[in-house]
Chain A
């Protein structure tokens, strides 16, 4: 199984190909469009992540010891960022997710999205993903 670290590394090397921010954002936007859709029934208040300018819905399932995430957002950049996180964290065991440092965000130059004022909810997305994992870990 590919570990979180390896997946982060893959994304970092993917991003090294881009020398311009526009390509990078286009990639993120495309990635957002490519992830498996969240079920419509989960696009409700209950699954909404708070504190985002755009709406983000996040759902988690627990299958065979692994956490499977799906997400959607009405903003494409936000959805793309959610997709990046899903790429890295989905399909991993809860403990690995809880412990993940996720330093790739900084390395691919998306650190600015971690700032609270951005209110795009990256911080909240990570927090929510980890909370799900934590809950599954205790199951």
Chain B
């Protein structure tokens, strides 16, 4: 048995059928499936460790607290953060971005200032900035993309100016698969002392991320897109920023002293973790990180690159195929259209064949407007997918074309 087949065995859901066919799961950019180790971790926590953290002096509370803080260390080393307290646990990428959009902008965004995002952002990296800009009478500026689905970097340089307060860009596009040159983007912004937030939701499942090497100021990602549970995510922030910006939510846990006159905020990262956190989620995320580490980024990246190449090759010869996004550097995702066939029609028939793909706007309406299309068919890979599944998918597409072509 080869390595990938062994990996597949760790994912119970992959052996199920959908519509009487073996499941082909190609919607990994929406959420990945979970390995046994993650499922087991959640189960084990509730079975024998459950307790609230950072409060009780009793045995279980101590144990849960230690496990939770250990998971923070694991997460910090996963992205090579300098300090564990630079890792704030959130509900996911969306909440991480909202936290920064709220707290950073409250402190630093002034009327007439600018926030710079890109034309390929997920709605969750657009709307929070729109709201913050409205609130603070600031302006949202957008780095354009070209037909290949790549950022126009020369335009980016022109857009950076003394009014720019923050740059927020995605590491990898969920609609186009483009890997953006974030290091270059960050360097350029830093030359003007402008901080950069990176949306890493689609990067962490596919490639090693080193926040110190990138030198990003904020990095956001979701557990559920990288083999972990839903409802848990991470905001990495450089200490100097997290120290300066005010809390997002308030309540228990985030305070040091409370009297009715005055409250002193807790130290990092607790200042940003009001209320009882998702302890099981954090431990599940740690299990997912361990799964990725044990599998190895080399294995993940070489296998997924092979799948991308293989699928692109297979699709290229398909009559009427139109790739949406043909970036030089791609991770995980292929978006396309097939002749005049509506993505919804294609998705419905593929589903009947047991093949899960994403159709529609993928929460990136500005990208679709740019290409002037109603949506795309998107396939996205994880380490457990196989060439054989790609073959099944291509056969499925042939059926789609027969029915609608």
Check B360–A53 contact: CB distance below 8 A. yes
Taken residue by residue from 336 to 352, chain B's Cβ proximity to chain A (1 for < 8 Å, 0 otherwise) reads as 00000011110011001
Give the docked Cα–Cα distance between A22 and B344 (Å): 16
Known pairs A25-B352, A53-B360, A53-B375; A78 contacts B344 (CB<8 A): yes
Check B374–A29 contact: CB distance below 8 A. no
Give the docked Cα–Cα distance between A53 and B357 (Å): 14
Known pairs A53-B360, A53-B375, A74-B374; A25 contacts B403 (CB<8 A): yes
Does residue A75 face the partner (Cβ distance < 8 Å to B)?
Answer: yes
Check B403–A29 contact: CB distance below 8 A. yes
Q: Which A19-74 residues have C-beta < 8 A from chain B?
A: 21-22, 25-26, 29, 53-55, 74
Residue of B nearest to A74 (CB): B342
Check A77–B344 contact: CB distance below 8 A. yes
Check B344–A53 contact: CB distance below 8 A. yes
Check A26–B342 contact: CB distance below 8 A. no
Does residue A90 face the partner (Cβ distance < 8 Å to B)?
Answer: no
B364 CB → nearest A CB, Å: 14
Does residue B371 face the partner (Cβ distance < 8 Å to A)?
Answer: no
A-B contact count (CB 8 A): 39
Known pairs A74-B342, A76-B404; A55 contacts B374 (CB<8 A): yes
Does residue B335 face the partner (Cβ distance < 8 Å to A)?
Answer: no
Check A26–B344 contact: CB distance below 8 A. no
Considering only CB atoms and an 8 Å cut-off, how many residues of chain A contact the other chain? 15
Check A75–B345 contact: CB distance below 8 A. yes
Of the candidates B19, B342, B352, B399, the one whose C-beta lies within 8 Å of that of A75 is: B342
Does residue A120 face the partner (Cβ distance < 8 Å to B)?
Answer: yes
Chain B at the A interface: mostly helix, strand, loop or mixed? Answer: helix
Check B360–A22 contact: CB distance below 8 A. no
Check A25–B344 contact: CB distance below 8 A. no
A54 CB → nearest B CB, Å: 5
Does residue B94 face the partner (Cβ distance < 8 Å to A)?
Answer: no
Of the candidates A22, A54, A74, A120, the one whose C-beta lies within 8 Å of that of B403 is: A22
The interface residues of chain A lying within 8 Å CB-to-CB of B344 are 53-54, 75, 77-78, 120
Check A77–B352 contact: CB distance below 8 A. no
Does residue B359 face the partner (Cβ distance < 8 Å to A)?
Answer: yes
Of the candidates A53, A55, A74, A78, the one whose C-beta lies within 8 Å of that of B359 is: A53
The interface residues of chain B lying within 8 Å CB-to-CB of A29 are 403-404
Give the docked Cα–Cα distance between A78 and B347 (Å): 12
Check B352–A76 contact: CB distance below 8 A. no
Taken residue by residue from 311 to 345, chain B's Cβ proximity to chain A (1 for < 8 Å, 0 otherwise) reads as 00000000000000000000000000000001111
Residue of B nearest to A112 (CB): B351
The interface residues of chain A lying within 8 Å CB-to-CB of B375 are 53
Known pairs A75-B344, A77-B345, A120-B344; A21 contacts B352 (CB<8 A): yes
Check A76–B374 contact: CB distance below 8 A. no
Residue of B nearest to A119 (CB): B360
The interface residues of chain A lying within 8 Å CB-to-CB of B342 are 54, 74-76, 78
Give the docked Cα–Cα distance between A75 and B360 (Å): 12
Give the docked Cα–Cα distance between A55 and B374 (Å): 9
The interface residues of chain B lying within 8 Å CB-to-CB of A76 are 342, 345, 404
Give the docked Cα–Cα distance between A74 and B404 (Å): 12
Give the docked Cα–Cα distance between A30 and B342 (Å): 16
Residue of B nearest to A55 (CB): B374
The interface residues of chain A lying within 8 Å CB-to-CB of B359 are 53
Check A54–B374 contact: CB distance below 8 A. yes
Q: Which B90-146 residues have C-beta < 8 A from chain A?
A: none
B402 CB → nearest A CB, Å: 9
The interface residues of chain B lying within 8 Å CB-to-CB of A21 are 19, 352
A94 CB → nearest B CB, Å: 30
B21 CB → nearest A CB, Å: 11
Residue of A nearest to B399 (CB): A22
Check A77–B348 contact: CB distance below 8 A. yes
B317 CB → nearest A CB, Å: 24
Q: Which interface residue of A22, A54, A120 has the most chain B CB atoms within 10 A?
A: A54
B284 CB → nearest A CB, Å: 24
Taken residue by residue from 102 to 139, chain A's Cβ proximity to chain B (1 for < 8 Å, 0 otherwise) reads as 00000000000000000110000000000000000000
B363 CB → nearest A CB, Å: 13
A43 CB → nearest B CB, Å: 14
Check A26–B374 contact: CB distance below 8 A. no
Interface residues in chain A, defined as those with a beta carbon under 8 Å from any beta carbon in chain B: 21-22, 25-26, 29, 53-55, 74-78, 119-120
Besides A22-B352, A25-B349, 6 other A-B contacts (C-beta < 8 A): A53-B344, A54-B345, A75-B344, A77-B344, A78-B344, A120-B348
**A-B CB proximity, top 7 nearest:** A75-B342, A75-B344, A54-B344, A53-B344, A53-B360, A75-B345, A77-B345
